[in-house]
Amino acid sequence: MDLLDVSLVNWSRAQFALTAMYHWLFVPLTLGLGVIMSIMETLYLKTGNEAWKKATQFWMTLFGVNFAIGVATGIILEFQFGTNWSNYSWFVGDIFGAPLAIEAIFAFFMEATFISVMFFGWNKVSKKFHLASTWLTVFGATLSALWILVANAWMQYPVGMEFNPDTVRNEMIDFWSILLSPVALNKFLHTVLSGWVMGALFVIGVSAWFLLKKRSVDFALKSMMVGAIFGVVSSLLVAFTGDGSAYNVTQRQPMKLAAMEGLYEGKAGAGLVAFGILNPDKKSYNDNENPYLFKVEIPYMLSLLGYRDVNAFVPGVKNVIDGGYPTPDGKQPLSFVEKQARGKAAIQSLANYQLAVNNKDTAAAALHKAQLKENYPQFGYGYLDRPEQLIPHVPTVFYSFHAMVMLGMYFILLFSLVLFYTYKKKIENANWLLRASLWSIPLGYIAGELGWAVAEVGRQPWAIQDVLPLQAAISSISTDSVKITFFLFLILFTALLIAEIRIMLKQIKKGPEEA
C-alpha cells in the first residue's frame, strides 16, 4: 500500500463526505417518520377512526418519496468503497463487507417485500396484515441502519479480527464481538433515535403549518400530539445514548474526545465546556497559546462523564501524543514515537515474512510472523510521519459537538412545550410556537449532520482506528477523475434534493384529504 498524493486523499474524502451528507438528509426522516406513521395506523386499527387512516396515508406518501431517494444515494455511497477506497476494501473487506452484505440480502429485501403491500394493499389485504406490513417495512429500514452502523462502529473500534500475513488481509474471527461491541450498540441506538427526533420535528413542523393556515385542523392536532409525545421520548433517549457515545469515545478514542472539548493539556477532575470560543492563534499542540478566547465550564463534569469518576485524569491532545499519562487500569499509553516505531516494525516484519515464505525459510517466517503479531496493534502508525497527523481539525469537531448538544437541548424544550400546549388545547392560538415548530425542521437535519461530523472528522486520520490511515486506504486512481465525479455527484444529489423538496411540498399543500 503505497502512500499517494495528498490531493487525491482529500478529494476522495470530500466525495465520500458529500455523498454521506446528502444520504443522511433522507435516512433519519425515513427512520422517524416510519415509526410515527406505524403508530398512527395502529391507532386506526384499534379505534376504527378513519381520521387516523387519513393521517397514516398522508405521512406514508411523504415517507415513500423520501425513502426512494434515500435508497438511490445509499447505493452510490457503498459503491465508493470499491472505486475510491479499494485498498481499504481489500485490507478489511472480509470484515467490513459482511454487515453490508447482510444488510443488502436480509434487511433490504424485507423492505422491498413489505413496502409494496404497505402502499398498494389498503383494499387488498386485511387491516391486521397491512399494519404488519407497515411495521415490517419500518423494521427492515431500521435493520438496514443496524448493519451499516455496525460496519461504521467497527471502523471506530476494530474488534473480532485477525491479520493474515499470507493474504495481507484482516479476517473475521468473532462475528458476535463485532455486532455486540459497546460502540456498535450505542452508535446504533443513538443514530436511530436521532432519526426518530427528526421524524418528530418533521411531523410537528408540517402540522404547525396546517394550523397556521387553519387547514385540516383535526388532522394537524392529532399529528401534533403523536409527534410531540414521540419527540419528547426520543429526544430524552438521544440524550441518554449521547452520554454513552461520549463514554465510549473517552475509553477508545481519546484524541477525538480531546478535539471535542478543545483540550490540549489533560488534567484530573477536568471540567466540561458548556460554551466556548477557540483561540484562532492556537497553531500547534505544544505552543504556549491559550486554546480558548472564552469558555464557560462545568467543574469536574468531563471526568465524571468520561470515566464515572470526578477525579479521573482526562488526557488532552498533547498527552495522547506524548503518552505516559495515568489511566484507570494503570497502563502507560505509548507515545506517538513509540507507536510509530512499532508500526514500522510491523510493516517491516510483514515484508520479511513474505520474503521468508518465498524463500521457504520456515524458521525465519515463524519469527517474523510473531514479531508482526506483537506490533500489529500499532500497524497503522507506521504510515504516519509526524505527530500532528494524529490531530483532527479541532475547530470543526469542537463547534460541531457543542452545536449538536445545544440543538438537542432545544429539541427537548420544543417538544415539551408543544406537548403541553397541545394537551391544554392552546396550541392553535400559540402562533409563536407553531412558527418555531415549522422553522425547527431544518435544525433537525443540521443536528444530524453535525453528529456525523464529530464522529468522522474526529476519527481522522484513520480509515480504521490505529490500523489503517487514509493515505494507505485510497485507490490508485487519478485525482482528476475524483474531481470530475465529485462535481457530477454534487449536481446529481442537488437535483434529487430539489426534486424531493418540490414533490413533498406539493403533497403537503394537497393535504391529507387528497393523500
Residues 82 and 170 occupy one common structural domain: yes
How confident is the model at residue 99, as a pLDDT? 84
Establish if 359 belongs to a structural domain.
yes
Residues 297 and 354 occupy one common structural domain: no
Residue tagged 386499527 (cell numbers): 45
Residues 88 and 235 occupy one common structural domain: yes
Whole-angstrom Cα distance, residue 117 to residue 49?
A: 21
Establish if 330 belongs to a structural domain.
no
Establish if 331 belongs to a structural domain.
no
Residues 39 and 115 occupy one common structural domain: yes
Establish if 327 belongs to a structural domain.
no
Write the CA distances from 30 to 54, 67, 444, integer angstroms.
Answer: 19, 6, 13
Write the CA distances from 17 to 180, 365, 456, 457, integer angstroms.
Answer: 27, 41, 9, 10
Residues 295 and 351 occupy one common structural domain: no
Specify the number of domains making up the chain: 3
Query: H or E stretch including 78?
Result: helix 50-83
Residues 141 and 42 occupy one common structural domain: yes
Residues 55 and 173 occupy one common structural domain: yes
Phi, psi of 254 (to 5 degrees): -60, -30
Residues 221 and 295 occupy one common structural domain: no
Establish if 203 belongs to a structural domain.
yes
Write the CA distances from 90 to 96, 194, 233, 411, integer angstroms.
Answer: 10, 32, 42, 42
Q: How many CA atoms lie within 13 A of 342 on its CB side?
A: 16
How confident is the model at residue 291, as a pLDDT? 92
Last residue of a domain, one of 300, 322, 344: 322
**45 and 128 Cβ atoms separated by less than 8 Å:** yes
DSSP states along 295-354: EEEETTHHHHHHHS-TT-EE--HHHHHH-----TT---PPPHHHHHHHHHHHHHHHHHHH
Residues 138 and 164 occupy one common structural domain: yes
**Which among 188, 164, 399 is positioned nearest to 276, based on CA atoms?**
399
How confident is the model at residue 515, as a pLDDT? 55
**199 and 34 Cβ atoms separated by less than 8 Å:** yes
**384 and 469 Cβ atoms separated by less than 8 Å:** yes
Residue tagged 399529528 (cell numbers): 223
Establish if 496 belongs to a structural domain.
yes
Residues 196 and 51 occupy one common structural domain: yes
**193 and 146 Cβ atoms separated by less than 8 Å:** no
Establish if 150 belongs to a structural domain.
yes
Residues 80 and 198 occupy one common structural domain: yes
How confident is the model at residue 84, as a pLDDT? 87
Whole-angstrom Cα distance, residue 76 to residue 496?
A: 13
Q: What is the CA radius of gyration of the chain?
A: 25
Last residue of a domain, one of 272, 289, 322: 322
C-alpha grid cell, residue 370: 510473531
Q: What is the pTM (predicted TM-score) of this model?
A: 0.92
Regions of the chain where pLDDT drops below 50: 1-3
Residues 17 and 151 occupy one common structural domain: yes
Whole-angstrom Cα distance, residue 222 to residue 220?
A: 5
Sequence-distant (≥ 6) Cβ neighbours of residue 389 within 8 angstroms: 461, 469
Establish if 1 belongs to a structural domain.
no
How many other CB atoms are found less than 10 A from the CB of residue 514? 11
Domain residues for the domain of 357 are 336-383
How confident is the model at residue 1, as a pLDDT? 39
